[in-house]
Amino acid sequence: MRKAVSNSARRTYFNNPLVVESLQHLPAALEHPDANSFRAYLVENLHFNSEKTRRRMAGYIANRFSVDGVLNLDLARAIQRFGDSQIGREILFFEYIQAIPLLQEIAVRWLAELPEQGTDRESFIEFLEMILGGRSVKKVSKDVTLTFKRFGKLISPKLSHYCPVWTEPPLEAFLYVLARLYPERTMVRVEMFMNEHAVRAMLWLADRIPELLHGAEKAGHISKISQLDQYHQFTLASSGPERMTMLLENAPLAEQTEPPLPVKVKSRKEQVPVDQQLKLFETKERPKRKTRRGEKSHGR
């Protein structure tokens, strides 16, 4: 039996995003709650032809979502309930940046700091070289940008150019993050919440947070919201596990479909205008066929 990866052995390196595979197979962790059992399940069920590849990819997924051999069953229940929807992907992205410190660092220090016009690939490579010391920069850059794109956090309006996507999170994803970040019943200042690295890495629009807090209060996850002078704070209604149970038992099932691109795409200063993003998916008109003089283009 293989020994489970310990907390001290967590990676500072990242490759093989496996986002689609994680969404597909994480619910099976409820029947295989320890890392070794889940890894064995993945080896039998992943789509890769080579057994060697299946074993390697199974190790990535099982280790990524377990601590000391115990799988993240809250995540498994959430993906079972919300599936491959915007809610499910927001929740899974939060767990990705929790499990992979390097991915969170890149999201906070690079992606969330990009200007309105975005940046080119060369500047991203320079950033990675600074934090990786030149180690596997090209491989990491490819897998990181693919991960951000799969989760709807990054778009490329043109080749080798990157723009961040700031969105309003679904209430269910917001409640999940609250339950995971604050396992105890406590009072939280909104400013401190917004400055949490995990929250900044999510690229959530700050002006939507007050509305989400009121939604959380209505759902029974927050008992009180206070705003006095410069202090804006909220009090959680119960412990994290209790709120997680309430969320996963009461939330409606989401449609199991590929989430669309966000309707609103913003940064702190109107990141990318919606009309520009939608133009990427417009059907281009086919050029008119040249005709000889006197001949009609639509035929005789």
Residue pLDDT tens, the chain, 300 long = 334 433 433 445 788 999 999 999 999 999 999 999 999 999 999 999 999 999 999 999 999 999 999 999 999 999 999 999 999 999 999 999 999 999 999 999 999 999 989 999 999 999 999 999 877 899 999 999 999 999 999 999 999 999 999 999 999 999 999 999 999 999 999 999 999 999 999 999 999 999 999 999 999 999 999 988 778 999 999 999 999 999 999 876 666 545 444 433 444 444 433 333 333 333 334 444 444 444 444 443
Whole-angstrom distance, CA of residue 288 vs CA of residue 269: 40
pLDDT of residue 295: 47
Torsion angle defined by CA atoms of residues 86, 169, 139 and 7, in that order, rounded to the nearest 10 degrees: -100
Q: How far apart are CA 23 and CA 61, in angstroms?
A: 11
pLDDT at position 292: 47
What whole-number distance in Å separates Cα of residue 97 and Cα of residue 104? 5
Q: Which domains does the chain have, with CATH numbers?
A: 1-71 (no CATH), 171-250 (1.10.10)
Sort strands 70-71 and 66-67 into parallel, antiparallel or unpaired. Answer: antiparallel
80/253 Cα distance (integer angstroms): 9
Q: What is the C-alpha R_g of the chain? A: 22
Residue 255, pLDDT score: 61
The whole-number pLDDT of residue 12 equals: 58
Q: What's the pTM value of the predicted model, to 2 decimals?
A: 0.81
122 three-class SS: helix
Q: Whole-angstrom Cα distance, residue 79 to residue 90?
A: 10
Q: How far is CA 133 from CA 107, 125, 138, in A?
A: 18, 11, 12
**How confident is the model at residue 134, as a pLDDT?**
73
Find the helix or strand (DSSP H, E) in which 136 lies.
none
